[in-house]
Amino acid sequence: MIDKTYLATNPNIWDGRNDGDDYDLQRWHQRVEVIDLHSAVIPALQNGQKGIAFIGFMCQEGVKRNKGRLGTVDGPYELRKACANLPVHFSEDLKIVDLGNIQCMGEDLEGAQISLGKLITETLLAGYKPLVWGGGHEIAYAHYLGIRDFIDQKYPGKKIGIINIDAHFDLRKPDPLPSSGTPFYQIAMDQKERGNNFNYLVVGIQKNSNTKKLYNTATELGAKYISGRRITEADKVGTTHKLVDFIDKVDFIYQTTCLDVFAAHYAPGVSASAYNGISPNPTFMKMFKKIHKSGKVISSDIAELNPSLDLDRRTAKLAAALSFEIVKD
Binding residues are 137, 166, 168, 170, 258, 260
CA 55/CA 61 separation, integer angstroms:
18
* Terminal Cα distance for the chain, rounded: 32
Nearest Cα residue to 229 out of 263, 266, 264: 263
Q: What is the dihedral of CA 271, 274, 277, 282, to 10 degrees?
A: 60
Q: 227 has which bridge partners? A: 205
CA 146/CA 112 separation, integer angstroms:
12
Rounded alpha-carbon distances, angstroms, from residue 104 to 61, 136, 307: 7, 11, 18
Residues of each annotated binding site for Mn(2+): 137, 166, 168, 170, 258, 260
Q: 263 has which bridge partners? A: 274
> DSSP letter at 202?
E
Q: 95 has which bridge partners? A: 51
Residues 255, 319, 88, 13, CA torsion sign: positive
Torsion angles phi and psi, residue 219, rounded to 5: -65, -45
Q: 165 has which bridge partners? A: 203, 257
By residue count, the chain amounts to 329
SS3 144: helix
Cis peptide before 176 (omega within 30 of 0): yes
CA 264/CA 185 separation, integer angstroms:
26
58, 72 in Cβ contact below 8 A? no
